Every structure is written in structure tokens, then in C-alpha cells.
């Protein structure tokens, strides 16, 4: 089954556009887990168990594991997701981007070591930095396009020509991903929920691509405006929330609180569909 087929399946089965982001910070863990980097797996597995029937995808952010020397816990966590929620795809948020020979190693890391279904990539180094990932049949890759952070303006909103009407950089990335770069049909784009106008623009350029949309929850993006701008029946949107779900409670009820916040967000997204 391809990544896109998995996404469609999870969207229908769980009635969801919500991606549960896994950004574990031991200092924010509750109770007996607090401060213990050796318990990252335990914390995340509880979140996975509590939200598996509410999510279109899980998105572990690799930095939160690597920073704590917890790569083996990430491997174990992906194996746990496979057995608990085999229908929910795993997007490894790694934002890789390097020359082809190095990209090949990053692709092995994402798809063979961790067994992810999709990965996030920076398109900044061009097509040969993306190509190694496309050789993995059925695996997905989301290219950073119009990111959720304010500094995204610095490059992504620059015009590529001097005349009025020349495309902005993020528009050009969307065109490449929708067209000539999409060799395996599994490319998608990252567009921030903090910029719904740009989501609408990306949707117009790339009507058939899945969009990974971080920025609701802790970053304050407008969930309803996001769905209005990006939703299409035939191209999933994957709206990520990490901290707002993971740290919905700092007490021993953290998994129940995470479930309640995930359900609230899933239902808000569903109710905002045009
Ligand atoms: O443009 C982007 C691309 C990726 N991210 C990642 O998404 C989550 C957001 O976490 P929240 O706690 O929901 O704010 C995090 O892993 C980022 O690295 C993004 O925020 N914006």
C-alpha cells in the first residue's frame, strides 16, 4: 500500500485530518516520568495508544529523540505504532536536504532504519537532493513550501523575478512538487496553519497533493480557516498539533487529557469542512 493510500484509509477510518505530533521533551513529562529521557518511549507510547483511533497520521520529530540519544526509543516507538495502529501512517519529521549521496543515507535512515511511511524534506538544494527518496516505491515526502514560522517570509516569500507577477519562491516549490518533481506520485507540501491565505494559494497551484499543515495548537494557527483553505475530497490535508496534545495535562491523567484535546481538535477540523 502506498503512503497516499494509507493516508486516505486513515482519514476515512478515523474520520480525521488530525496528525498527532510527537515532540517529547522530558522536562515537560508528568509525574514519575519528569526529566527522564529513558522514558521517552513510555510517554510517547501512551500518547499513541490514547489517540490511535483519532489520527490521520503520527509525526515524530526526530530532533526530540536525537537530542536525548533516544534513537533506539524512536525505533521501538515506530514498531509500537505498527502493532497498535497499523492503519495510521508515520511521517518522520526530519527536514533533510543534502547532496544526492548523503540524501541516499538519509533515505535509508527514514525508510529502512525507522520504517517511516513519509519524511519531510527541504527542497533548497534542488531535485538531486530529493530524488533518492523517490526511489522508494510508495513512500511519501513532504517538501517545505510555506512554513509556519514568521522567518519563513525571509526566503519563501521572495519573488523569483523582478517583474510583477513573477512567482514567489514557495509558489515555485508548489509547482515543482505538483509537476516535474513528483516522479513517484507521493510528494506533498508543508504549509503552515499560521498562513491560511498561502494555503489557499498552494491549493490552487497543487490541487492534488497532500498538504502537511503544522501550526494549530501551540502556534495559534486558525484550524477552521486552515480547513476552509486547504480541504479537498481527493487530496488529504494532514493538520499537525504536537505540544497542545502532548502536554494537555502535566498530571498523571496526561494520556486522557491528550485524548480529549486530540478529539476536540479532530472534531473542530471536521466541522470546518466546506
Ligand atoms: O513549518 C513547519 C514545519 C514543521 N513544523 C513542526 O511541526 C511541529 C509543530 O509543533 P507544535 O507543538 O504543534 O507547535 C514541530 O515538530 C515542528 O518542528 C512546524 O511547526 N512548522
Q: For residue range 146-194, list pLDDT tens digits in order.
A: 999 999 999 999 999 888 889 999 999 999 999 999 999 999 999 999 9
CB of 168 within 6 A of ligand 1: the answer is: no
Q: Give the mean model confidence (pLDDT) for residues 259-273.
A: 98
pLDDT at 190: 98
Q: Let me know if 233 is exposed, middle or buried by CB neighbors in 10 A (0-12, 13-18, 19+).
A: exposed
Query: Which band of pLDDT confidence, cut at 50, 70 and 90, is reported for residue 65?
Result: very high
How far apart (Å, rounded) are the C-alpha atoms in residues 159 and 172? Answer: 10
Residue carrying the nine cell digits 543515507: 105
Residue 52 in this model has a pLDDT that exceeds 90: yes
Residue nearest to atom 18 of ligand 1 (CA): 61
Question: 3-class SS at 191?
Answer: strand
Distance CA 166, CA 204 (A): 16
Number of domains into which the chain is organized: 1
Which domain does 102 fall in, by range?
A: 3-271
**Res 35 pLDDT > 90:** yes
pLDDT band at residue 274, thresholds of 50, 70 and 90?
confident
Of the candidates 241, 92, 235, which has an alpha carbon nearest to the alpha carbon of residue 174? Answer: 235
Of 20, 21, 247, which is best to mutate to test ligand 1, by the most ligand atoms within 8 angstroms of its C-beta?
Answer: 21
Please state the three-class secondary structure of 36-63 as a single string: CHHHHHHHHHHHHHHHCCCCCEEEEEHH
Side-by-side strand order, sheet with 57-60: 57-60, 18-22, 237-241, 211-214, 187-191, 140-146, 118-121, 91-96
194 lines ligand 1 (CB under 6 A): no
Look up the CATH number of the domain holding residue 16. Answer: 3.20.20.70
Give the Å distance between the CA of 149 and the centre of ligand 1. 9
Atom of ligand 1 nearest to the CA of 59: 16
Residue 37 grid cell: 529521557
Residue 27 among the catalytic residues? no
- What CA–CA distance (Å, rounded) separates 175 from 167? 10
- This prediction has a pTM of 0.98
Q: Give pLDDT, residue 165.
A: 83
**pLDDT of the residue at 152:** 96
Q: Which atom of ligand 1 is nearest to the CA of 219?
A: 14
pLDDT of residue 164: 81
Amino acid at each position: 500500500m502506498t503512503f497516499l493510500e494509507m493516508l486516505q484509509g486513515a482519514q476515512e477510518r478515523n474520520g480525521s485530518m488530525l496528525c498527532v505530533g510527537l515532540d517529547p521533551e522530558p522536562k515537560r513529562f508528568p509525574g514519575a516520568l519528569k526529566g527522564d529521557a529513558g522514558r521517552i518511549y513510555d510517554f510517547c507510547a501512551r500518547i499513541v495508544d490514547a489517540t490511535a483511533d483519532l489520527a490521520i497520521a503520527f509525526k515524530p520529530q526526530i530532533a526530540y529523540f536525537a537530542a536525548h540519544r533516544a534513537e533506539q526509543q524512536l525505533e521501538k516507538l515506530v514498531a509500537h505504532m505498527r502493532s497498535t495502529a497499523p492503519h495510521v501512517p508515520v511521517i518522520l519529521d526530519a527536514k533533510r536536504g543534502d547532496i544526492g549521496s548523503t540524501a541516499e543515507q538519509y533515505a535509508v535512515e527514514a525508510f529502512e532504519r525507522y520504517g517511516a511511511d513519509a519524511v519531510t524534506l527541504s527542497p533548497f538544494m534542488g531535485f538531486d537532493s530529493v530524488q533518492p527518496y523517490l526511489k522508494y516505491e510508495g513512500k511519501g515526502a513532504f517538501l517545505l513550501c510555506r512554513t509556519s514560522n514568521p522567518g519563513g517570509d525571509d526566503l519563501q516569500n521572495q519573488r523569483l523575478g523582478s517583474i510583477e507577477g513573477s512567482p514567489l519562491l514557495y509558489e515555485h516549490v508548489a509547482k515543482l512538487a505538483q509537476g516535474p518533481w513528483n516522479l513517484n506520485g507521493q510528494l506533498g507540501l508543508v504549509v503552515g496553519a499560521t498562513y491560511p491565505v498561502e494555503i489557499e494559494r498552494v491549493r490552487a497551484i497543487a490541487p492534488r497533493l497532500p498538504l502537511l499543515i503544522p501550526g494549530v495548537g501551540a502556534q495559534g494557527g486558525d484550524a477552521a480557516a486552515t480547513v476552509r483553505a486547504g480541504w479537498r475530497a481527493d487530496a488529504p490535508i494532514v493538520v499537525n498539533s504536537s505540544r497542545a496534545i502532548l502536554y494537555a495535562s502535566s498530571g498523571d491523567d496526561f494520556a486522557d487529557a491528550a485524548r480529549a484535546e486530540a478529539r476536540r481538535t479532530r472534531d473542530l477540523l471536521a466541522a470546518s469542512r466546506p
